[in-house]
Amino acid sequence: MKTVYFASGKHIPRRTILKAAGAALALPWLDAMSPAFARQESKSLPRRMIAINVDLGFMSDRFFPKQPGRDYELSEYLNELAELRDDFTVFSGLHHPGTGGQHVADRCFLTAATHPARPGFKNTISLDQHMADEIGFQTRWPSLALRVGPGSESLSYTADGVRVPAIERPSEVYKALFVQGSSEQVRQQVQRLRNGQSLMDEFAGEISRLKRGVGNADRQRLDQYFSSLRELETRLEAQEAWTNTPKPRVDVPVPKDNTSPGGLVPKTRLLYDMARLALETDSTRVITILVNEAHNPTVDLPGVDSPHHGLTHQASQKGDELAIIERAQMKCLADLLTELRGVEEHGRTLLDSTMVLHGSNIGDAARHDGANLPMLLAGGGFKHGSHLTFDRKNNEPLANVFVSMLQRMDIEAEQFASSTGTARGLEFI
């Protein structure tokens, strides 16, 4: 840790720095809280997004169509979405420049930050958190980070490059969305928030005293931190308002969590169901789902006898076995899109208002190749039904699709990360 000095030559006590750092570490997570006008209704109909990363990828020869344009023949995997053909666009020739094909690149799936495997890597803001910063005030949850597979790593990163922890268990998602708690529990939660605000005031006083004894560079850093604290207080007040607002009621029981190591498919279906319910009740409008099986189980499906990760490195010998898993994952996506299309909302379907981005940070898991990522975009008010092809050797930035998505969310954006513009050929309805 670099030592910081006062202008007088006295160093700031380590205890003080650690106390301030403790608050700073909380800021990225709390940055997603709603401001005080959270309950105001948007004048336009809601626009939403679900971004899904299947981090072990898909076999490219079974995923990508052979023909470009609208008259392409569905590939083996896209056949699982045959009834939704006019509701999605499939892309080929996209990548994130400089991220590589390592598994750690899943942290860059929505950020496009470069060189994630290098020591000292610092991430950048993810697409979902950029959206949450702009529209998150409209719902109880500015965003939801979900995960299929054990752990808390997610696709979501704040402007400071800090990961937003993911929720793995569907039952916990359900409780967060729909379980109100007793009046005493609500009172205690409000009191905790108020205590947090008092703590912020205490830190602000300490920082004001510190500012009088540091150099210009440190004073600027403290000014930024002080501003962050005040912003946090506003967001804490908003969270208090949401705490006193009843949660929506749904005629759906609490889901029973699947704890089987190989339960990839039922776990995915349950979390997809929770994502749909979150959007249907307008509890949030921005959701990310990371499908990660780093523990490498054998998936519980007939005909699958080998660990999933191992199969991706033996695709040439065991491709048919791996395809059983990957087709099942595409079927889970098809079910999600079908259910979104089945929900009516103000004369349109929930799929019409929801962009569903589905793909992987790996183009070829066997070679750890980060080129030609398997990507599709469904719903959300785009003109779909095509295979948009780009140069498979000199790929276009996937971030171009992100810019198009931001604009479709009615967020002003001309650039995001490595983008060079919007995605050519991807048009609004």
Q: Are residues 142 and 279 in the same domain?
A: yes
Q: Are residues 147 and 20 in the same domain?
A: no
Taking the C-alpha atoms of residue 80 and residue 293, their distance in angstroms, rounded to an integer, is 22
Query: For the segment 261-289, what is each residue's pLDDT rounded down to a tens digit?
Result: 999 999 999 999 999 999 999 999 999 99
Confidence at residue 241, expressed as pLDDT on a 0 to 100 scale: 66
Whether 234 has a pLDDT exceeding 80, the answer reads: no
Residues comprising the chain, all counted: 429
Closest among 371, 331, 335 to 351, alpha carbons compared:
335
Let me know if residue 421 belongs to a domain: no
Dihedral of the alpha carbons of 350, 353, 358, 361, in degrees to the nearest 10:
-140
Taking the C-alpha atoms of residue 178 and residue 253, their distance in angstroms, rounded to an integer, is 10
Query: For the segment 156-173, what is each residue's pLDDT rounded down to a tens digit?
Result: 999 888 899 999 999 999
Confidence at residue 200, expressed as pLDDT on a 0 to 100 scale: 59
Confidence at residue 186, expressed as pLDDT on a 0 to 100 scale: 53
Q: Are residues 385 and 273 in the same domain?
A: yes
Please, what sign has the CA dihedral across residues 280, 284, 286, 287?
negative
Q: Are 274 and 177 in contact (CB under 8 A)?
A: yes
Let me know if residue 425 belongs to a domain: no
Distance between terminal CA atoms of the chain? 53
Taking the C-alpha atoms of residue 168 and residue 257, their distance in angstroms, rounded to an integer, is 9
Q: Are 361 and 97 in contact (CB under 8 A)?
A: no
Residue 145, classed as helix, strand or coil, is strand
Query: For the segment 99-122, what is each residue's pLDDT rounded down to a tens digit?
Result: 987 889 999 999 999 999 999 899
Query: Who's near 7: CB < 8 A, 6+ residues apart?
Result: 213, 214, 215
Q: Are residues 212 and 316 in the same domain?
A: no
Q: Are 178 and 249 in contact (CB under 8 A)?
A: yes
Q: Are residues 127 and 165 in the same domain?
A: yes
Query: For the segment 13-59, what is each residue's pLDDT rounded down to a tens digit?
Result: 433 443 444 443 333 323 333 333 333 433 478 999 999 999 999 99
Confidence at residue 182, expressed as pLDDT on a 0 to 100 scale: 57
Percent of the chain at pLDDT > 70 equals 77
Query: Who's near 139: CB < 8 A, 6+ residues apart?
Result: 34, 38, 282, 283, 284, 285
Work out the pLDDT band at 69, boundaries 50, 70, 90.
very high
Q: Are residues 23 and 105 in the same domain?
A: no
Q: Are residues 310 and 403 in the same domain?
A: yes
Confidence at residue 45, expressed as pLDDT on a 0 to 100 scale: 83
Let me know if residue 354 belongs to a domain: yes
Let me know if residue 361 belongs to a domain: yes
Token digits of residue 31: 């940055």
Pairing of strands 396-397, 94-95: parallel
Domains identified in the chain, total number: 2
Confidence at residue 9, expressed as pLDDT on a 0 to 100 scale: 42
Task: Give 359's strand partners.
Answer: 53, 375
H or E element: which one contains 92? Answer: strand 88-92
Confidence at residue 194, expressed as pLDDT on a 0 to 100 scale: 58
Q: Are residues 257 and 377 in the same domain?
A: yes
Q: What is the mean pLDDT of the chain?
A: 84
Q: Are residues 130 and 162 in the same domain?
A: yes
* 230: containing domain: 1-30+184-246
| pTM summary value | 0.81
Confidence at residue 154, expressed as pLDDT on a 0 to 100 scale: 96
Work out the pLDDT band at 293, boundaries 50, 70, 90.
confident
Q: Are residues 167 and 92 in the same domain?
A: yes
Let me know if residue 41 belongs to a domain: no
Let me know if residue 274 belongs to a domain: yes
Q: Are residues 300 and 216 in the same domain?
A: no
Token digits of residue 90: 């499939």
Query: For the segment 340-364, what is each residue's pLDDT rounded down to a tens digit?
Result: 999 998 899 999 999 999 999 999 8
